[in-house]
Structures are given as C-alpha cells and as structure tokens.
Structure 1
Amino acid sequence: MTIRAAVKGIGHYLPERVMENEEFTKRIDTSDEWIRTRTGIERRHIVAEGQTTADIGARAARAALADAGMTIDDIDAIIVATSTPDFTFPSAATMMQAELGMQRGFAFDVQAVCAGFVYALTNADGLIRTGQANRVLVIGAETFSRLMDWDDRSTSVLFGDGAGAVVLAAEDGDRGILGADLNSDGRYRDLLYADGGTSTGSIGVLRMQGREVFRHAVEKLATTAHTALGRAGLTAADVDWIVPHQANLRIISATAAKMGLPMEKVVVTVQDHGNTSAASIPLALSVGKQRGQIKPGDVVVTEAIGGGLAWGAVVIRL
C-alpha cells in the first residue's frame, strides 16, 4: 500500500480592485507597453483598506473546501505559505484557523517567499506520509501591495495580492504528490529581500536586483523541476502541465524551453495577477482547473524561486 497526499480540492480568491498598468503612468516614468514587454503583466489585484492576508487566505480556503466537498471539520492541519502575515505573531495560519472555525488540529506558517507554496506542499506531504495528519489544507496568501515602494518602477509594477488553496488527503494509489525537491542558498539574500523587520523596527519595502534574479531563476527552476521528476520516476515527456510561479513571462518561457516543453503545456496567469509570491502557484492551479486545462490524472509540475534564495519543485498527479 502506497499512501500519497492526493489533491481533493483547489480554490482561490482575488481582491475586487483591479489595477491596470495604465495607473502607474500617473505616478512613475513607465508605460503599459514597457511593463507588458518586459514582464508580460497587464494588471494585478489589490486588497481593499482593512482587508488582510488572513481574510483573503480564508476565502481561498473556503473555495478549496467547497471544491473538495468537505468542511473545515474534515481538516486536521493548516499550512499557510506567506511572507506578508498580518502580525509578526501569531501565525497567519492560526488566524485563518480561527476565521474558518477550526477548533482542533494544528496550524503553522511557512516562509520561503515566492517558493513558499512548494515548501508548504512538501511539508504537508510529509505530515500525511508519516500519519501526523490525514487531511491538510495548504494555503498561499499574500498582500504584497503593502510591501511596495510605489515610486520604484523596477518593482512596484510586478506584484499583486491574492490567495489560493488546495486540500490534500491521504489516499492509497498513484494520484497525489509523486516527488519534490527543495533548495536554498543564503549567499544570495541581497538579490531579493524586504528591508524591514525587528532589526529596523519597520515593515520595510521590497528590494530586488531583477537582472540577477532572472539569471538565477531560469537555471535553478529547470534543474529543480528535473530533479523532482527524477524522484517521481518520470521525465519531462510525462508532464501534462507546468504550473510555475507567476513572476515574469520571460522567466516562465525560458524555463519551459530549458525543460524542453512547449508553452502550450504551461498554465500562465501572470498577465492578470502579476507576481503574487506564495499565492501564485495555487492561484494558477485553480484558474487552470476552471479553464478546463488541468484535468484529473494529469501530471503537473509546480516550480518556484524566491528570496533567500529559496527554490524548489513538486510533481503531482491530479
């Protein structure tokens, strides 16, 4: 008997406010064409005043639970991937636990920035395989708009807010998480970081060396995806869909090419969401399912890289 962490439900939530590229031209020296050609981004969603990471994460969780035909009472654990929690502590996960009405089990956060969701999936897989939990709600939720320097055209145009979630359950069979690969290298921490925290006494804003991040991203993402496939006993030829971190269309395209896969096998949502960090993969999974692209039985590769640098990939048969 082989127990795997099978995906039983997928859902997402996007804030109502849509910010088109044109809005930036009123504040900084940029244009819709400049943003599109360099990033592929056309618009992004921004949280409303008073709307929190815990709020949007709970909304995505409810959508995933509904898709799974479950209630919160069926869940043993919640793992939240986020770099924008509402407070230093308690964790965003325990806040979502309370919001969802879950009064048992356990909840905790994972912080690996844009790679957070693949880290969270891998943690959930471990919990299920070792019998610590039978059903785990994995959420990626971010309010990156609150970390932006809105006068920095190299970063402010890239990010958006949103949340996505999946329900994983122990299942005997060939569906579920088949392989994973996680990596980090703290020597590159200055390439992508927020310049706030307990050492500064402020939340800070996001800082990035975009060219260097791009250089690392393509090589590391293709390598980690192939490693995860190898651990699953598969190759790129077995892949039905890549569901990548949605940071930049050029990174997505270059990574697919390096893996030897056509863009027709890539779920792309960056044009509508921008970079939603740890939320981008579950958002893309949910949208891909709604579009009818992703179907039961498909082999999906998710991969992401973020500040740390931290990167990784997970292979799933849906």
Structure 2
Amino acid sequence: MNAPTQATRTLDRELEELENEAIFILREAMSQARRPVLLFSGGKDSTVLAHLAARAFYPARPPMPLLHVDSTWEFREVLAFRDRFAREHGFELRVHANEQGRAAGINPFDPGDTYTSVMRTESLKQALDVGNYDVVFGGARRDEEKSRAKERVFSVRERGHTWNPRQQRAELWRLYNTQLANGQSLRVFPLSNWTEMDIWRYADQRGIALASLYFAAPRPVLERDGMLLVVDDAARMRLQPDDVVMTRTVRFRTLGCWPVTAAFASAATDLQEVVRETAQSRNSERQGRIGDREGGGSLERQKREGYF
C-alpha cells in the first residue's frame, strides 16, 4: 500500500481546515460503524474522499472497502483508473451491477428514467443489501445540486434506503448522532462543505492523480443538441442518421455514463490549468449531465427512492 500523497506545495489554510473536518467526520463515523463502505465511482469527488480515508487511518490499511456500482455503461478509462487506484492505495474493491437489468438490455439511450432507476438506484440498493452496510460514505457536496443542499453530513436512511429530508437530525456545533434504529443506515458525506473548486485545488496541492478524462486530450466525439458526446465504445453507440464522429480535444468536469455525459472543448491538460479554466467558467458543473436536461427524473425524487 502506498502512503497517502504529500503536498506538492503548502496546503493553504482553507483547504487544511476542510481536510481536517473531513478526516474528523471519517473517524467519527468509523468509531460507530459495524460494516462501513465507501462508494467509489472513479470521479473526482470519490477519489478525493478515498484519498482522505486512506490518509485518516494511515499507516493502517483503509478500514472500509470501496464499492463501485457499475451501470455497465462506464467509461473504460474510469474502470481502469478505479482498479489501479484501489490496488495502489490498499483498498478492497467490490463491484456490483444489476444483472437483471443487464440481461433485459436496459440502456441510457431509451427515453425516461428507467435506466437510472434500474441500473443506478436499484443496483445501489441491491449492493447495500448484499453487504448489509450500516455506514455508507459518499462524496456528495452541497454545492453540486439543490437537493444535495438538503442533506445532513450524517444522513439517516430508513428501511429500504429511502430518504426523507424533513426527518433528518440537527447537527449543531459539529455534533453528530450515529445511533440507528433497526433497519436504518447512515450515509455520511465528509465533503459536504467543499465546493467543486476546493476539490480541484486540493487534488492539485496534494498531488492526487485523477481519472484521465478530466484532462484535455483528442477524443472521438459527435455533437448532439450542442453537446459533445465522447464515443467510448463505437460498437455500442447508437448513431443517428446525421451523426458525424470527429476528433476533438475535450475533457469533462463531471463523469457519469458515457452515452449521457457531455464533454467540452478544452486545452487544460493538468490540474493547475483545470483550476484556472474552472474559475473562469460560467457554466454549471452538472451541465454535462444530459439526463438532468432530458427529464430523467429529479435528483431529489431519485434520492428519496434510494439513489445516492
């Protein structure tokens, strides 16, 4: 197991405070957890969170496994990064996919929110039931989307993994209640008070390697409705009659399933360039999530049903 990466330069005070808070939350939750797990998508937020978990308990091995809910439409570069990260940082990696949904051919090209419900929400609930996890760490941030802002740091889920934002516990002076009734579980969000810019800056200052899709490179893309889709697997891509696949230099700010996550033109090839480019952007981080724009179901409704 590699030691957690050290700062390439001095960590500034704001990031140091966020780091200390996140490590405190991780240790507080772990002190009460029986069967903890950390959700790991291979995206920037879960990568930073997993790095913090490794840092919080070093030199011991990370005391929780990584769980990746595989939609079966993940970017191949993300899967390779996932495997490499777990191996290098000493995490046990557990992967779960909804095999019934796979067999039924559920896919992100069909309209509606069936794909998200079956291959994301139901798959996550299946994985949590199989593992019987009581404390589930996730990398969600409050600034990411309006329903995220309703989350507590320690968010109670009822039987069936449902979420009721009106029945969450007060968290005054960073005092967290970890008591659980029968059938309840906790979803814990150590990055709640971080912003997207904090994530980029922290990864830069701590020298954390992120998935290569976050950095500009020539990639095969096609344009639909003004959005650039990277053709990650040409054999599985559903081309429309007027689609033209071309090579463009693009990157991502957010990563999801490759047929419904848009890239954008960029020249940022390292983290310092990404920080500068993000600071100048007026677009939302989730603008690249095509499902948010095409009626894929509100994130809050999905969360109430068990989505992370």
Structures share a fold, TM > 0.5? no
Q: Which structure has the larger Rg over C-alpha atoms? A: 2
Return the structure number with greater relative CO, CA threshold 8 A, min gap 6: 1
Greater percentage in strand: 1
Normalized against structure 1, the TM-score is what?
A: 0.30
Normalized against structure 2, the TM-score is what?
A: 0.30
